[in-house]
Amino acid sequence: MATKKAKPNPKAKLGAGGRFAAVEAAAKKSGAKNPAAVAAAMGRKKYGAKRMSKMAAKGRKGGK
């Protein structure tokens, strides 16, 4: 089952995945070995572990 990835958009609605994708794209451009890990770490620092896990769950459910 392939998941549809959000398009990079730094002004996307919070929890939609566009902001995460934008940070991930910027990290990849900078040469990060694991850009998704960089984006996740930045999100955890900004929003906290609890809120990041809620957003991740929302993303896995398809935004419901």
Q: What is the pLDDT of residue 1?
A: 44
Q: If you search the block for the tokens 């993303």, which residue do you land on? A: 59
- As a whole number of angstroms, the distance between CA 56 and CA 62 comes to 10
For residue 39, give the DSSP letter: H
Q: What residues in the chain have per-residue pLDDT under 50? A: 1-2
* CA-CA-CA-CA torsion sign (12, 14, 18, 24): positive
Q: What is the pLDDT of residue 35?
A: 95
Q: What is the pLDDT of residue 58?
A: 84
- As a whole number of angstroms, the distance between CA 63 and CA 57 comes to 9
Q: Helices marked H in the chain — which ranges?
A: 18-30, 35-47, 49-61
Q: Give this prediction's pTM.
A: 0.79
